[in-house]
Structure 1
Amino acid sequence: MSLVVVKPQVITSAMLDSSIPEDDYPAWAAGTVYAAGDRVVYAHKVWESVQAANTGKPPPSDATWWVEIGPTNRWKAFDLSHSTKTRFSGAAWFEIMPGRAVNSVALLEFDGLRSVRIRAIDPAYGTVYDKTTMLWTSPGVSGWYPWTFGERRERRNFHALDLPSYRGATIRIDIEAANDAGIGVILVGQQQSIGMGVLSGVRMGMLDYSRKVVDQWGDVELQQRAFARTRSIQVLVENSQLDNVDRVLSGLRATPLLWLVSGQYEQTNVYGWYTDYDIGIQYSRYSELSLNLEGLTES
């Protein structure tokens, strides 16, 4: 398959509605006097007061009064980082009005999900897309014995790449889940195909940020920390498309993207950015694009 890249649409408060309330803490109020350690919600983020007698100062205005803790629970799935998760129980829905045509939806680094229903609802044409996917657990290896008796693994990622492009459509996501479920990233955007196909020889790796600490007596302590997935791929590109590929990649630098490398091997796909690329013009009609990808850190 071609290398498919999905660039996330940045979601603003005007675009999003959800069944998940934004009640992590009380909303900031200008007339309230906050003590040190009090927390409030302001601009979809949680802030903590660092001083007593804190009044009349909006959280972003002065770092000597407030420190940012992070996005609210509702907005953790839209901060483009899967190290934070929107958590809920039983069921949830999201409605996203991107204001532009999108043809891809992805849910990344989730846990506890049972099914997801994606709908695209256009104000003029009605429901133009409606698909439900069961997110069943699966065994780690194939065969009747592992299927019956083996350890089962939950799916962690889902993507729908076949939405019709309707500029005014609302994307509705309905989720059925367990009592404690979480979603790292909800992504909507336009997909792009790069090249004619990914060549064989994909390399999968990991950057592990764990540490080994040795004390003065030689005792070893292993500190497990976050890690990032790495992928190295080669893509066959027609020479007539070289200028366009170079322009596309130049415009996608330092941006978290969903890179879909293979439809057969889910683990080859990665959510992150490219660290570098080079193009070798080797043949009269075709060239090889080499890409090194690095995923966002995971815990």
Structure 2
Amino acid sequence: MMLIRPFVVTDTALLSCNIPETDYTAFNLATTYGLGDRVRVIGANVHRVYESLQAGNVGHDPAASPTWWLEVGPTNRWKLFDSSVTSQATNPDSIDVTLHPTGRIDSLALLNLAAQSVRVIMTDAVDGVVYDKTFSLVSDSGVHDWYAYFYEPIDRRSDLVIYDMPPYHAPTIQVIVSDPGFTVAVGAMVLGFKKIIGGTQYGVRVGIQDYSVKKRDDFGNYTVLERAFNKNATFTLFVDANFVDQLHALLASYRATPIVYAGTDIYSSTVIYGFYKDFSITIAYPTESICTLEIEGLT
């Protein structure tokens, strides 16, 4: 089991991004907005979209007027870094982002992807380019014979976690997500520093919690309103006895912070960006202890 402790992306850290921040017109205090009109508000580390709740809406600051404005969410560009996996940043052909984190970075998670390939370039101020790899998102999951190889539709991975970046401090990292001729989408981009906390044991349970509404009438017909879902999992880990106290303190420190939990690199379904719902550590043996983690992902 590995954790990716995330770096918080700010205006200063985001050096460039090819997604234009022109979702809606910029808010103007002197403009009269109608019911349902949307505006964007951009400031220092503020990149939000608001929707007018009333007609004749003039002179009301969206951030300070909840009876006049509804906060819809981040702008398209900043959906990459919000606390949601379902909300996707989109752009034709590619999403090209360059970041300059201030801490040590050796891992990258891209979640809820719709693309053909991902290229990651890490550059150090002294050593130059220290990492440059391109990853195909074509998935071989479910291809177990020649018939499936030739005739099943081509699937693509929706999650990509990269663990092998060299642990440089404050590097410049360029991430290029590509699919020429199509719209590229990314639900979450998480840079961070990994931490191995134990060995994941067989018996992992993975699933989802669906928030869609399904109503059946008197004749058995269904009306479905599709909504978001989140991933969840329960892990059992063997933990070195010397690491028990540190693990207890580490998990306590992230009780209200979403991080990436990766059970194993064999199954992408064990990669969850979210919170632990519960954890317990059983000091079972002289050299090893048993940790149980129940993880609930972000929608």
TM-score (norm 1): 0.90
Kept in 1: contact 2:82–2:188 (CA 8 A):
yes
Partner of 2:244: helix, strand, or coil? helix
| Superimposed CA distance per residue, residues 108-147 of structure 1 (whole angstroms, 9 cap, x where no aligned partner) | 0111x11111111223332222111122243623222101
Match of 2:125 in 1: 123
2:93 equivalent among 90, 94, 99: 90
Read off the aligned partner of 2:61 and give its amino acid letter: P
Mapped partners of 2:95, 2:211: distance in 1: 34
Mapped partners of 2:268, 2:26: distance in 1: 41
Mapped partners of 1:20, 1:96: distance in 2: 14
1:243 equivalent among 225, 242, 245: 245
Kept in 2: contact 1:139–1:151 (CA 8 A):
no
Read off the aligned partner of 1:192 and give its amino acid letter: K
Mapped partners of 2:57, 2:89: distance in 1: 29
Per-residue deviation, 1:240? 1.5
Q: Structure 1 residues 70, 145: CA separation in 2 closer, same or farther (over 3 Å shift)?
A: same
Mapped partners of 1:294, 1:79: distance in 2: 17
Q: Structure 1 residues 246, 139: CA separation in 2 closer, same or farther (over 3 Å shift)?
A: closer
Per-residue deviation, 1:221? 2.3
Q: Which region of structure 1 is more displaced relative to structure 2, 186-195 or 226-235?
A: 226-235
Mapped partners of 2:95, 2:241: distance in 1: 47
Aligned residue-pair number = 292
Kept in 2: contact 1:214–1:221 (CA 8 A):
yes
2:116 equivalent among 110, 114, 118: 114
Mapped partners of 1:137, 1:246: distance in 2: 36
Mapped partners of 1:146, 1:213: distance in 2: 36
Partner of 2:2: helix, strand, or coil? strand
1:202 equivalent among 198, 201, 204: 204
Match of 1:20 in 2: 19
Per-residue deviation, 1:35? 3.6
The yes-or-no answer on 1:231 pairing with 2:230 is no
| Superimposed CA distance per residue, residues 225-250 of structure 1 (whole angstroms, 9 cap, x where no aligned partner) | 44333211111112211110100111
Read off the aligned partner of 1:21 and give its amino acid letter: P
Read off the aligned partner of 1:39 and give its amino acid letter: R
Per-residue deviation, 1:174? 1.5
- Residue ranges of structure 1 left out of the alignment (5+ in a row): none
Match of 1:167 in 2: 169
Partner of 2:95: helix, strand, or coil? strand
Runs of 4+ in 1 over 4 A off after TM superposition: none
Match of 2:189 in 1: 186
Match of 1:281 in 2: 283
1:149 equivalent among 138, 146, 151: 151
Q: Which region of structure 1 is more displaced relative to structure 2, 268-277 or 242-251?
A: 268-277
Partner of 1:90: helix, strand, or coil? strand
The yes-or-no answer on 1:40 pairing with 2:43 is no
Q: Structure 1 residues 29, 209: CA separation in 2 closer, same or farther (over 3 Å shift)?
A: closer
Mapped partners of 2:76, 2:259: distance in 1: 22
Mapped partners of 1:117, 1:284: distance in 2: 45
Read off the aligned partner of 2:21 and give its amino acid letter: E
Mapped partners of 1:133, 1:205: distance in 2: 26
Q: Structure 1 residues 139, 241: CA separation in 2 closer, same or farther (over 3 Å shift)?
A: closer
Per-residue deviation, 1:185? 0.4
Q: Structure 1 residues 165, 58: CA separation in 2 closer, same or farther (over 3 Å shift)?
A: farther
Mapped partners of 2:37, 2:48: distance in 1: 14
Mapped partners of 1:210, 1:23: distance in 2: 30
Per-residue deviation, 1:214? 4.2
| Superimposed CA distance per residue, residues 189-238 of structure 1 (whole angstroms, 9 cap, x where no aligned partner) | 1111102x1122212233334455344x3535253544333211111112
